Amino acid sequence: MSKMHVSASVNGEPVEFLCEPQQSLLNVLRDELNLTGTKEGCTTGDCGACSVMLDDRLVCSCLTLAAEVQGKSVGTIEGVANGDTLHPIQQALLEHAALQCGVCTPGYVVAIKALLEKNPLPSESEIRYWLAGNLCRCTGYDKIITAVQDVAQQMAKADKNAGEPA
Amino acid sequence: MSEAVNFKYIGTRPVRPDGVDKVTGRANYGADANLPGMIHGVVLRSPHAHAIIKKIDLSQVRLLDGIYAAVSGNDFPEVSSGSMGGEGGGDYKDLAANIMARNKVLYHGHAVAAVAARTRELAVEALALIQVEYEILDPVMTLDAAMAEDAAILDESMFTQGVDPKPKYPSNIASRIEFKRGDIEQGFLEADIIVESEFRTPTVHQGYIEPHACLASINEGGQATLWCSTQGHFDVRAASAKVLNMDLCDIKVIPSEIGGGFGGKTVVYQEPVAILLSRISGRPVKMVMDRDEVFRASGPASASHTRVKIGARSDGTLTAMSCWMAFEAGAFKGSAIMPGAMCIFTPYKVANFYIEGFDVVVNKPKVAAYRAPGAPQAMYACESLMDELARKLEMDPLELRLVNAVEEGVQAAYGPKFNAIGFRECLEVAKQHPNYTRALKEGQGRGVAAGFWFNVGMQSSAEVHINENGTVMVIEGNPDIGGSRASMALMAAETLGVPYEKVRVVVADTENAGYTNVTGGSRVTFATGMAVIQAAQDIISQAKQRAAATWELDEDQVDWQNGHAIPMPGVNADVEPLSLARIAANSGRTGGPLLGRASLNAKGAGPGFSVNIAEVAVDRETGKTDVIGFTAIQDAGKAIHPAYVEGQLQGGAAQGIGWALNEEYIYDEKGVMQNAGFLDYRIPVASDLPKIDTHIVEVANTAHPYGVRGVGETPIVAPLAAVANAVRDAIGVRITELPLSPSRVLESIDGA
């Protein structure tokens, strides 16, 4: 079977690629588009290291067929920082020492961003259940949860300030 | 080291130097390296747990278009027996046979052949064309089965070591070890109370999120370059050279960032295979395990069986401790029975002890180090029984431990006398901790346990280069698995008196760093840190010489304060202090660049003690246990970067909780693992755990300039028993086998 031609947007930029029908989005991101920030931990949707946004949905790119993204928008870790400025989530993870080996971190950044877009001030329990699909073997999750609580407060405050008349 | 020392940088919590790359996806891990012309290697794995390989035929697969190389054990050189040394130990001959089976397969998933193809998918398809003829043997899957007199034998040439006279028949028991002190029988006679029980723990996996991955490229002159995720690239070089009969200097190993290891990435699996496939194909070869392979063919940690007996006087003073313990080694000899046996009674002063241990081969993957290898299994048994003893004596379990706790000057069960250690301090902190005294509800329980790990020193090298503007490069050879670049930078900054932000740390490859042992054994901040400090002191000495030359003073008339050369007090010299930056800028005129270095075999790694408090709630309807509170208290000597020390305590606690409650390899009757994925081998997820409170005790290790003792491994030792003791407290019944899965808890509640 010949390869499929797919047009999509990745991190806001138009992208075209050829893929096998059975090829995963993770595989295409890493091996065809050289976006290796998205990590492979299991290929069975259990670890969340490959988390990306597909339009406004958080998905495991290992369980998403590359062909499915035709006409859609894909957001990866490489698109989270704004130019030379880290996203507040990335900054919070650093300041709270919320990573040790760091291989799960790109998936966390994408998943936390998705959480805070849906639920800007989640409870600890909501954070823990939202992130239950992202495995971290190093930290015991504690500092990740604290970082999310902290950055949620910061971002909510910044939004509020931005919304107030000058 | 007095407590009055005021550190400027040590003890602060700056952002790690490699942080930005790790939160943006820029950091390159094992599977992230690619080369032009690269092809993909995959491994054919045994479908049987125990079988003789009668024949392997690679002729068909070699004919397939797009296949560049195919190898089996026959394509590797013969490797003779020899000790590997290092943290993991083991034998090179076994390592070679584990990397690629020779005449026998010894576990389901054992590598029997490998191919390299244009794509990974093609390589996987091609495996079906490899013909292997097996003679299937009975799988030996448990300690009981392996130690039985009529057991099928894994290795006919294995006779139990440590037994005199040498046994007549081969055995699955690779070795027997024994430690004793005093008169064990007399000790039990002196006891007012004796408790005994036996405990079992299952096979568990380290569970690092990044699978093993490497990329090998060898040139026409036989010089190989290997990129890989490893805890020790010098060990990868040594093992690859041995297995392929190559010269060390023909292999360059470049460590990638590492996505977790916990001991499991001190072992070599695919790297020599990738080099061999590259040699045959003339192309770079990438090999990445999938998660299924990681579970079936890497790691795991030993399943164990331990019988313990403890005697005490009515005031709690221990009079005798004895144990019989057996650890599964997996397919080849070399479990962590030795450290397990050496540590089991170490936290306690006891005049009479007897420890007997057995290293036993079974048809499972060869075990690898897992964070304080051997200690969690051993201490789970000891600390569970100590809890029972406290109950029998109607004594507070922390008080029982305080009565018997080792301290400075006491001879450790494993031999040496303790220097300053913080065990008593940890116990005192636990006793006063609000999490120890707060009220619990119906169905909840609390348990405490102590943890201990030796920690190691071993060999390290470091260089400190001063850039021409005075900024600092630290060059070292330990892959950064949990923030060690930050620790190195803090120690360099403190020693030199320059800001942390002006220090960069490079983890260099085998050609650019001096020889350095693995990132393991809780040794990096201690031993490599010591090398970095000494290399920085070398810089200070040189900088003082340059300043002396500039000022026309003698070298001993110059002091170093806050990153500046200044005249010694009392020296009459009308000069301005010279900063490291000014000395560096002027270095061309005073003798050339400043380059400091140190290499050492670090002695005096201070042992690490901990005390954990677990609080659980057990659902009596379902048997499910929730950890509702967890407190990890540990002596770090001196916490260089306290946030990363807390991270070690929390991460180890989470792994220990998983070991206690969820994790185990489940096998069918043919020896095939049934849960080789993260869905069914369930490591704790965020919603399984509570906040993990930490308390860092600091009893300085006098062997380290800043008081450091290792912290990485001790945290996983105490949680197993702490959780088990809490469950015992909650349900009123002692379960003596891990994991404390809902079904097992429910059975115990129903049976009680």
B534, two tokens: 């000494």
Q: Could you tell me the pLDDT band of residue A159, with boundaries at 50, 70 and 90?
A: confident
Cβ-Cβ contacts under 8 Å, A47 against chain B: 209, 291, 678
Residues B538-583 pLDDT 10s: 999 999 999 999 999 999 999 999 999 999 999 988 999 999 999 9
Of A41, A125, A139, the CB nearest to B650: A139
Q: Could you tell me the CA-to-CA distances from B623 to A129, B630, B736, B742 in Å, in that order?
A: 21, 20, 16, 4
pLDDT surpassing 50 at residue B1:
no
d(CA B659, CA B376): 9
pLDDT score at B86? 57
Per the listing, tokens 């050492």 go with B600
Alpha-carbon distance of B202 to B660, in angstroms, equals 10
Give the closest of A94, A106, A137 to B25, CB-based.
A106
Q: Which residue is closest to A95 within chain B, CA to CA?
A: B15
Chain A to chain B Cβ contacts (< 8 Å): 185
User: What confidence tens digit (pLDDT) does each residue in B612-638 have?
Assistant: 999 999 999 999 999 999 999 999 999
Buried-exposed string B61-70: b where 16+ CB fall within 10 A, e elsewhere: beeeeebbbb
Amino acid at B702: T
Please judge whether B689 and A42 are an interchain contact, meaning their C-beta atoms are less than 8 angstroms apart. Answer: no
Residues of chain B in contact with residue A133, where contact means CB-CB under 8 angstroms, are 685
Taking residues B665-669, report their average pLDDT. Answer: 98
The reply to whether residue A44 touches residue B683, judged by beta carbons under 8 angstroms, is: no
Task: Cite the residue boundaries of each domain of chain A with CATH code 1.10.150.120.
Answer: 88-163
Q: What is the pLDDT of residues B335-365, one digit of tens each?
A: 999 999 999 999 999 999 999 999 999 999 9
Q: Name the strand (E) or helix (H) holding B494.
A: helix B484-496
Amino acid A32: pLDDT: 95
A49/B29 Cβ within 8 A: no
State whether residue A65 is helix, strand or coil.
strand
Per-residue pLDDT band at B491 (split at 50, 70, 90): very high
How much is the pLDDT for A160? 86
- pLDDT the model gives residue B691: 98
Indicate the residue of B643, B678, B692 with minimum beta-carbon distance to A135: B678
Look at residue B89 in the predicted model and tell me its pLDDT. Answer: 64
Please state the three-class secondary structure of B413-475 as a single string.
CCCCECCCCCHHHHHHHHHHCHHHHCCCCCCEEEEEEEEEECCCCEEEEEEEEECCCCCEEEE
Interface test with A, best of B34, B124, B125, B209 (most A CBs within 10 A): B209
The confidence score (pLDDT) of residue B158 equals 96
Q: Which residue of A has its CA nearest to B481?
A: A101
**A110, containing H or E segment:** helix A105-118
Residue A165: predicted pLDDT: 63
Test B677 with A38 for CB contact under 8 angstroms: no
Average pLDDT over residues A33-50: 98
| Amino acid symbol at B31 | A
pLDDT at position B2 is 42
How much is the pLDDT for B228? 98
Give residue-wise pLDDT tens across range A51-74.
Answer: 999 999 999 999 999 999 999 999
A11/B contact by beta carbon, under 8 A: no
* B25 → closest Cβ in A37, A96, A132: A37
Is B686 in contact with A109 (Cβ distance < 8 A)? no
Chain B CB within 8 Å of residue A143 CB: yes
CB–CB of A101 and B13 under 8 A?
no
Taking alpha carbons only, the member of B576, B584, B694, B709 closest to residue B638 is B709
Which residues in chain A have Cβ-Cβ distances shorter than 8 Å to B525?
Answer: none
Chain B residue numbers touching A106 (CB-CB < 8 A): 23-25
For position B4, what pLDDT does the model report? 53
- Residue range A4-79 forms a domain whose CATH class is alpha beta
Mean pLDDT of chain B: 97
Whether domain A88-163 has CATH 1.10.150.120: the reply is yes
For B215-240, what is each residue's pLDDT tens digit? 999 999 999 999 999 999 999 999 99
Structure ipTM? 0.98
Report pLDDT digits (tens) over B724-736: 999 999 999 999 9
Q: In what order do the strands lie in the sheet with B131-136?
A: B104-105, B51-57, B131-136
pLDDT tens digits for B673-710? Answer: 999 999 999 999 999 999 999 999 999 999 999 999 99
Question: What residues of chain A lie within 8 A of the CB of B683, using their CB?
Answer: 135, 137
Q: Does the CB of A126 have a partner CB in chain B at under 8 Å? A: no
* HEC string for B225-276: EEEECCCCHHHHHHHHHHHHCCCHHHEEEEECECCCCCCHHHCCCCHHHHHH
Question: Do the chains contact at A140 and B31, CB–CB below 8 Å?
Answer: no
Chain B's closest residue to A136, CA to CA, is: B209
Domains of chain B: 19-26+457-602 (3.30.365.10), 33-137+207-297 (3.90.1170.50), 304-455+606-751 (3.30.365.10)
**pLDDT digit string (tens) for B312-340?**
999 999 999 999 999 999 999 999 999 99
Q: Nearest CA to CA, how far is B627 from chain A (Å)?
A: 13
Task: State the sign of the Cα–Cα–Cα–Cα dihedral B90, B92, B98, B104.
Answer: negative
Q: Which of B53, B108, B105, B100 is nearest to B79 (CA)?
A: B100
CA distance B102 to chain A (A): 29
The boundaries of every CATH 3.10.20.30 domain in chain A are: 4-79
